[in-house]
Amino acid sequence: MKTYLPLSLIILAAPAQAADSSPQINIIFSGENASCDAWMKSANNKLVRGQYEIWARGFASGYNFANPLEQVKVGAFPSGDNLAKYFDQYCRDNPQQTFVAGAIQLIAQLSESAKPVKPAPRAPAKKS
């Protein structure tokens, strides 16, 4: 009977997970260092800022892996002072948000600009 209990719990939980229309996105970043407040407090610590940059670049790489048709192009992702300026501004404008939310917004902006522009459809020729 003990071996059937875990299996039955999994089977019972499956419909609840399937009913969720939008899958949960799991972000692997701890709460104490994901806040905009933590980012702002790291202003004078290049080592910590470097760790944030490495995380953001890895996150962008994961986005590219998951979205091959909507890539953040090589060279488009800011680095160093430019990345810090972006997050400084983002966190000043959105103090209740997280560094992660800022990274998501940055990637969305960069991937949108990477989309090819489709020409407008031609209007049908008028018959005389």
Evaluate whether residue 22 is within a structural domain: no
pLDDT higher than threshold 60 for residue 68: yes
Evaluate whether residue 125 is within a structural domain: no
Evaluate whether residue 79 is within a structural domain: yes
Evaluate whether residue 63 is within a structural domain: yes
**Across the chain, what does the average pLDDT equal?**
78
Q: For the whole prediction, is pTM greater than 0.75?
A: no
Evaluate whether residue 92 is within a structural domain: yes
Q: Domain limits at 95?
A: 34-114
Question: In the chain, how many domains are there?
Answer: 1
The per-residue DSSP string of the chain comes to -TTHHHHHHHHHHHHHHHH-SSPPPPP---HHHHBHHHHHHTTT-HHHHHHHHHHHHHHHHHHHHH-TTSPPPTTTS--HHHHHHHHHHHHHH-TTSBHHHHHHHHHHHHHHHHSPPPPPPPPPPPP-
Between 66 and 18, whose confidence is greater? 66
Evaluate whether residue 5 is within a structural domain: no
